[in-house]
Structure 1
Amino acid sequence: MDIAALSAKHIQEAINYETVLFGSRKSESHMEPIFERIGEIIPLTDPLTLHPNTYAEYVGIPAQELLETHSHVKARFLRLDDSDIVLKRGDGLYPQPVARISGSPRFLYLRGDYGLLDTKCVCVIGTRNPSSEGKAYAKETVQELAEHAVTVVSGLALGIDGIAHITSLATGTSTIAVLGTALTEVYPSEHRKLQKMIGERGLLITRFSPATQTQKWHFLLRNQLMSSLSIGSIVVEDRDGGGAVKQAQYALDQQRKVVVFQHVLDNRSLLWPRRLSLKPGVLVVKHPGTIHARLFTPASQAQPQDIGEARPAQLSLFDLS
């Protein structure tokens, strides 16, 4: 089955699934087993409108209310582009590292080059308010990864994330933006054009359906998905308790590597770099020029110290100051 046919097969099931979630007002962890039980009786790919009473019995709400919810959810799904892709956990194309995380989403929604999921991916993340040094390190980090044909993953946020994506596009490097919203939404609004460009030249991916009402905590789930897609996460800069720091912990929990820069570790006003640097799987590097070697060198061959000359950024296509 080709990707378009596979996606079309899943859209109706995804609409039914989201209807159950919204109608019940309960969590995915609670409702997915119930949804599976419904699937033992009727095909989950049938429109819910063919079996409203069966769904109502299992979900525990009136059939008419469920039908009204279904109509609302379906209308939101119609906002997807015709070329958008829906993957279901268990598909051959569904990323296996994502399937292995706790609470992995039943569906993923993609726009763009889904083949990038099969490439070497590394996250470049950090604060929304980077220093001048942080901006320079973010650019140089992407340039280093670009030299080794590594796909750059980030979260489309302002600051370091945006620099990572823009530098990737400017250097012809593949990039994946993991969203904390549906494909049909734009956040932050300042990155409307950037999100469109990545959808055309890279890949947008999210766990959130078009029916989802965005919540602040969704961005933590975004970070969990981001780290699972990547070999490692490079935290360029962040504040204590920031989202990138939380993603670093997700990455370590998922047996991924985390990279921290020496100048961040030396910043005595921050607690997180020192705490993080003591954990297995965390690499401290002096500059971006050694990141690829450190990330992709087996532990048995790793050197005790990071050495080499820092290289100046060479990007002028975009003004990121």
Structure 2
Amino acid sequence: MDRTWHQALNYETLVKVANNSEAKALEAFSKALILLDTTEPFLLHLGEYASLLNIDQGLLSKAYYDCLPAFEAMDSSVQVLTWEHPLWPKQVNDFAYCPRFLYVQGNASLLCQPSIAVIGTRSPSLEGKKLASLSAMAIGNRSYVVASGLALGIDGIAHKSALDNGFPTFAVLGTPLNSCYPPEHALLQQEIAKRGALVSRFAPCSATQKWFFLLRNRLMSALSMASVVVEDRDGGGAVRQASFALEQKKYLFIYQSSVDNHSFLWPKQFANKPRVFVVKHATDIPRVLEKAVKTKEQVGKVTQKSVQLDLFSL
């Protein structure tokens, strides 16, 4: 086990003994960074760690041995990124719930490249499936990395479209790397690890919880320049990511077909907000994004004819 793995294991031990409170663990870990070498095996500094958390050494030792087997079994190809690592994606640093470590399998440098997330429902319509594929192709054609969450439906289609067309893609997981959810995407997960990258904020010893997937969406939004919600239901995970994107002052793209669908409320609630773009065609996404970044426009729903022609004319 290398020194960074030891450091991550030590941190996860603190998380576990702090009842999964990352805030408490991070506070103790930050103090430990000043007082001792956090890359050394945990038991060498058991007393110091126990003192930092004001906890019995026996409880701390038990937490360490609970976490240790999963780290020892971690695939040797996994890179553990810490804030100090040269491949750490600095675009996530200023946002809420920034992880202390990231676990990456594949090409970790993809996380530092400009990316756009393509997300949506697990049960898309035929039009949604087509738009997901076209979105990934349009993004890849303009040299952006296609990001998504490996879920069934829109996510999986976006990843597969990128791979099929030779474009880079990374998947942000809601589970540790040693798990696969959904199980139907086990082979896709392996393929992305070979030809793109898998990234998780969850240590191998973590027991997956339902709320992990919201943290996954927060991280995916933070990693990406923009999120494209192809289709989703009210209250769905992609809609939650849309909220995170605006909270993080990222860009958000919604298809006109979603706005026109009167079965859902969320498209209209987002469409008039700053940094949100309603597009008709997949090829509009990278072009409009580039213009927005260049001019720093904060455009809501396009309502005036003159503005609409400006945004969507070739």
Name the stretch that deviates more: 111-120 or 160-169: 111-120
Specify which of 133, 139, 142 is matched with residue 133 of structure 2. 139
Q: 1:90 to 1:102 in 2, by over 3 A?
A: farther
| Residues 256 and 281, structure 1, Cα contact 8 Å, conserved in 2 | yes
Equivalent residue number for residue 307 of structure 2 = 304
| Residues 97 and 215, structure 2, Cα contact 8 Å, conserved in 1 | no
SS in 2 for 1:162: helix
Name the stretch that deviates more: 162-171 or 111-120: 111-120
Equivalent residue number for residue 281 of structure 1 = 275
Q: Give the structure-1-normalised TM-score.
A: 0.90
Specify which of 75, 87, 90 is matched with residue 84 of structure 2. 90
Name the stretch that deviates more: 82-91 or 227-236: 82-91
Tell me if 1:35 matches 2:38.
no
TM superposition shift of 1:63: 1.5
Residues in 2 aligned to 1:271 and 1:125: alpha-carbon distance in whole angstroms: 18
Tell me if 1:53 matches 2:56.
no
Name the stretch that deviates more: 83-92 or 164-173: 83-92
Question: Equivalences for 1:1-321 in 2 at 5 Å?
Answer: 8-297=2-291, 298-299=294-295, 304-305=307-308, 307=312
Residues in 2 aligned to 1:91 and 1:146: alpha-carbon distance in whole angstroms: 27
Residues in 2 aligned to 1:240 and 1:26: alpha-carbon distance in whole angstroms: 30
Unpaired segments of 5 or more residues in structure 1?
A: 1-6, 310-321
Equivalent residue number for residue 312 of structure 1 = none
Letter matched to residue 217 of structure 2: N
SS in 2 for 1:156: coil
Q: 1:191 to 1:308 in 2, by over 3 A?
A: farther
TM superposition shift of 1:90: 3.3
| Residues 114 and 224, structure 2, Cα contact 8 Å, conserved in 1 | yes
Residues in 2 aligned to 1:285 and 1:58: alpha-carbon distance in whole angstroms: 52
Q: 1:26 to 1:162 in 2, by over 3 A?
A: closer
Residues in 2 aligned to 1:51 and 1:120: alpha-carbon distance in whole angstroms: 40
Residues in 2 aligned to 1:22 and 1:48: alpha-carbon distance in whole angstroms: 14
| Residues 16 and 47, structure 1, Cα contact 8 Å, conserved in 2 | yes
Residues in 1 aligned to 2:268 and 2:86: alpha-carbon distance in whole angstroms: 40
Q: Give the structure-2-normalised TM-score.
A: 0.92
| Residues 29 and 103, structure 1, Cα contact 8 Å, conserved in 2 | no
Deviations 1:61-91 (A, max 9, x none): 3222322221221111122211210111133
Letter matched to residue 110 of structure 2: L
| Residues 124 and 154, structure 1, Cα contact 8 Å, conserved in 2 | yes
SS in 1 for 2:12: helix
| Residues 122 and 153, structure 1, Cα contact 8 Å, conserved in 2 | yes
Residues in 1 aligned to 2:112 and 2:87: alpha-carbon distance in whole angstroms: 9
% identity of equivalent residues: 42
Unpaired segments of 5 or more residues in structure 2?
A: 300-305
Residues in 2 aligned to 1:131 and 1:13: alpha-carbon distance in whole angstroms: 45
SS in 2 for 1:40: helix
Equivalent residue number for residue 319 of structure 1 = none
TM superposition shift of 1:26: 4.4
Residues in 2 aligned to 1:40 and 1:146: alpha-carbon distance in whole angstroms: 43
Deviations 1:100-154 (A, max 9, x none): 1122111011000112123220000000110111001111111111221221000
Residues in 2 aligned to 1:300 and 1:49: alpha-carbon distance in whole angstroms: 51
| Residues 15 and 24, structure 2, Cα contact 8 Å, conserved in 1 | no
The number of residue pairs the alignment matches comes to 303
Equivalent residue number for residue 302 of structure 2 = none
TM superposition shift of 1:245: 0.8
| Residues 224 and 247, structure 1, Cα contact 8 Å, conserved in 2 | yes
Q: 1:26 to 1:198 in 2, by over 3 A?
A: closer
Residues in 1 aligned to 2:89 and 2:79: alpha-carbon distance in whole angstroms: 13
